A and B are shown apart, each in its own frame.
Chain A
Amino acid sequence: MIYLLGMSHAISVLRALTPDSGISHQAWAGHSAAPGFTPVDAPGLPGLRQHLIPPNSGWRAVIQMNNGQRTVAASPGYVELLDHIESGAARLISFLGGNEHSSVSLLADARPCDFVWPRGSGAPLREGFQPLPVAVIEAQLLGLLQQTLAQLMMIRIRHPQLAITHVLPPPPHANEDRMRAWPEVFGQLLATQGITPLDIRMKYYGLYCELLRAQLAPLGISCLDAPAAACDARGALRDEYTLGCTHGNEAYGALVAEQLRTLN
C-alpha cells in the first residue's frame, strides 16, 4: 500500500494520475476532511490511496496559540487519519505544506531584503536591497515550517518503520505576466505590491528545500526534488508547467508522478 497525503501541491499529481477524478484546485476547498484514504487507480503505483487535507480544516494546527500561550493540540482528525495507515505499508508520500517560502518571498516587500545563499548562483546581491545574514532568513523559514515538520514528525512517531518521502514543491515561476493572470491567494497584492525578483525568490526556495532536507533527514524522511525537466537554466519552473503563481500544473504533476513510480 502506498499512501499519498497532501494539500494543494498534491492536486496536480492526482490530476495527472486520475484525469477523470474531478480533483482540482478550485474544488479543493470543498474537499471532505473526514479521516480516511481514498483508493486511486494509478498505473505504476499499485495500491495507491490518497487523502487531500483541505484548507481551513484545522488539521494543520498541531500547535496553537491561545492568549499568547503555546499549546500542543494536534487535531483529532489528523491523529485518526494516521491510524488509517496500515502497518506494513510500502510508503507514505507527503505533499504537506509547500507554500511557506512563497508566503514570505513572492510579494515585493516595502523593505526589500536580499541575502547570500552559499549554495546559490553567486550573483551579486540586489542594489538597494538590505543584505541580511542568512540565519535571519533561516529563522523566518523555520518558523513557517514548524507545522509541516510537526505533522511529518507525528507520522514518523506513529509509524516508525514506514518509508516516508516528502515531495518538495515546484520552484518559483519566472513569468510575472502569467503569475499576475492567476495570483491565487495573493490577489490584488500581486499587482499593487509587485513581485520579488526571481533571483531572490530562487534563493528563498533553495534555502527552504535545504532546511527541509536537513530537518527531515534525522527523522528518516527523504525529500524528492522537483523534476529537472520542468526547470529552466535558472532553476525556475518553465512556463509550460506552471499553474497559478505558485503551483505546478497537470503536466508538471505527470513528471512528479513519473518520479514517484521510480521510487525504491
Chain B
Amino acid sequence: MHPYQQQPDRAFWRRAVSDTAWRDIDLVGTPKFRLARDASVATAGSCFAQHITRHMRKRGLQPFVAEQAHPLQLAAGRDVKDYDSFSARYGNVYSSRQMVELLEQALGERPPIDDYVEQDGRVYDLLRPNAVADGFDNLAHARADRRYHLGRVRHMLQACDVFVFTLGLTETWFHAEAGHTYPVCPGTAKGDWDPALHKFRNLTHADVLADLRRLRALQLQANPAGRLILTVSPVPLVATHAGQHVLLASSHSKATLRSACGEFVPEDDGVLYFPSFEIVSHVASFGQYLQGDLREVTERGVSHVMGCFFDALYGEAAAPGAAPAPEAVAPAAAPAIDVARLLNAECEELFNDVAAPRR
C-alpha cells in the first residue's frame, strides 16, 4: 500500500500522457470554477492573450470591453484597432510588475505615471507605445487619455466577473528615478534608451509571487466577487538582456512565471491556472504547434489551447454553434446625429463620410 495507488489516472505519466493523443489530453480536469456563458470576462497580458478575445468572439461569446473607440472616431474613418485586442486600451502587458502598477494607478493607489516622449510632432505614451501607435496630438491630450484609460481600467476591474491575465516574461525595464515599469525598453518602440535612466530588471520568483498576490488584492479591492485566471504565454522571448542564450533566458523566464503561478494559485479558491504554456510548449507536444521560427504559435496550436480553455471553463455553453454570436455591441450613437436631422434646414449630416483630415 502506498499513496500513489489512490491517485487517478491523470496522475500517472504513462496513463495520462504516453498512451493519450496530445489532442485528447485533459490538462485541466475539474476546474475550481466554471464560467457562465454571459460571464463578464476581461483579458490582459502578453501578445498571446489577444487570442482569448478573438476566440471568444468566434464562439459567440462577448468579451468584456471597458474601453472602446468613440463613434466619432469610427465615423471619421480612424484606425481604431488599438481598441480591439483587450478589454481596455493598454496594449500588451508582458510582466506582472507592469500589471500591478497599472491597477494601482487605476484604483488610485499611486498617481498616474507621466512618461511621454515627443517624436515627429506627436506625443507617445511610453507605457503604451504600441497600444496607441499613432500617439497623441500633444502632451495635454496624452495626459487626458491616460487619465481616461485608467478610469476605464478601474471600471473593468469593478465590473468584470473574471479577469484573465497572461504572464509573458520576467525581463523588464524600469525608470531608475520614478521606479515605474515599461512594457518594452524605451527606444525599441518609441523614444530613446537612456542608460542612466532606463534600467534592466529580471523579476525573480519572489518578485512575481508578490506581484500576483498584490494583483489579486487589488482585484478584490475593486470587486470582492471577482475571479482571476492566470496563464503563461507559450511564446518565447524575442530577445534577452540577461546575458545568456535567448533559449536559456526564455526557459528561465517561463519557469519563473510558471513556478510563481504554481505557488500562488492554491492559496486562493478564486484563482485558477490555465495551462496554455504546457499545451504548446511542453516537449511532449513534439513542437507541433510552433511556426517555422520555432517561436510563434500556429493557428492550429492556438485553436487547441482555446478549445481546451472553453471546454474546461464553459463546457457545452461555449461549444461551437452552441448559440448564435451576439450582435456586435454598437457604440452608443451620438445623439448629435438626431439633432442634425432636426436641424436639417441648417445642418446636414449628409457629409459625415467626408474624408477626415489626417494628423
Contact = CB atoms under 8 A, between A and B. Distances in A.
Interface string B325-357: 000000111111011101111111111111111
A103 B72 CA distance: 14
B144 A109 contact: no
Interface stretch (B8-16, B135-143, B243-251): B135-143
A193 B138 contact: no
A242 interface: no
Contacts of B138: 116, 118
A120 to B, nearest CB: 10
Contacts of B75: 139-140
Interface in A129-150: 129-140, 142-144, 146-147
Contact of B340 (A55, A103, A110, A133): A103
Nearest to A144: B347
A136 B137 contact: no
A135 B358 contact: yes
Interface stretch (B145-153, B167-175, B188-196): B145-153
B359 interface: yes
A50 to B, nearest CB: 17
A128 B145 CA distance: 10
A21 interface: no
A5 interface: no
Contacts of A111: 70-71, 331-332, 334
Contacts of B344: 55-56
B70, B78, B334, B345 interface centre (most CB from chain A within 10 Å): B345
B356 A136 contact: yes
Contacts of B73: 132, 136
Contacts of A132: 70, 72-73
A249 to B, nearest CB: 18
- Interface of A: prevailing SS: mixed
Interface stretch (A37-45, A92-100, A152-160, A219-227): A92-100
Contact of B357 (A60, A102, A139): A139
Given A60-B348, A124-B140, A135 B343 contact: no
B76 interface: yes
B333, B336, B359 interface centre (most CB from chain A within 10 Å): B336
Given A122-B140, A142-B357, A137 B72 contact: yes
A138 B355 CA distance: 11
A105 interface: yes
A114 B339 contact: no
Nearest to A120: B140
Interface in A25-57: 54-57
A129 B148 contact: yes
Interface string B214-247: 0000000000000000000000000000000000
Given A103-B343, A132-B70, A140-B352, 10 more contacts: A7-B346, A97-B346, A103-B339, A115-B141, A128-B151, A129-B148, A133-B136, A136-B72, A139-B354, A144-B349
